[in-house]
Amino acid sequence: MRLRAHNAEAGFGLIELLISMTMLNVGILALIAAFQSGAFALQRASKQSTAAAIADIQLERYRGYAYCGIIFSAADVGAVDSTYTGDAAYGTLLTPVNDTTCMGVTAPADSKPSLTITGPDSQPYRVDVYIVADSAITTARQLKRVTVVVRDGRTTSKVYARVASTFDQATGS
């Protein structure tokens, strides 16, 4: 009788082994997917923090200019591509031609509306700077809003950082 019960269970060890291997495989694949997702999130966070630092550095450059130095040359604005000019959310760009408060002033040599740089992580970033007249707060004084947009240098539709600051003519900053 004992021999008969043992024969009735023949083959169950193999089935149990296959089921446990399948469950183990599903668990391992879930862990691999979690690690891959985490690595992707870390890579994206790294690019966003690098882009934010680049945007802050660029905006600090404009904080160092006098109020009338916060402009672009008309030639530089005319030379930018459709990625820059297609972003109509930033309004009409100020150039020496249409900034009536600063007639005759030339744009600083390093004030460019769009440039591509290599970040400290050796990745390309595109930096677009928009300078527009801003009268949202008050119409009594002339204001300029500088917006720095940092995009992926390879895929310019990916925006990693956007920083803006308003400059007041009355205070000179």
The residue to which tokens 């400059």 are assigned: 167
Structural domain spans, the chain: 2-168
- Per residue of the chain (173 residues), give pLDDT as tens: 455 555 666 666 888 889 999 999 999 999 999 999 999 999 999 999 999 999 999 999 988 888 888 888 888 888 888 888 776 667 677 777 777 777 778 888 888 899 999 999 999 999 999 988 876 655 567 788 899 999 999 998 899 999 999 888 776 65
Q: How far is CA 163 from CA 52, 83, 171, in A?
A: 8, 18, 21
CB-side neighbour CA atoms (13 Å) of 65 = 24
- pLDDT score of 73: 83
The residue to which tokens 């149990």 are assigned: 16
- The structure's pTM equals 0.75
∠32-33-38 over CA atoms, to 5°? Answer: 100
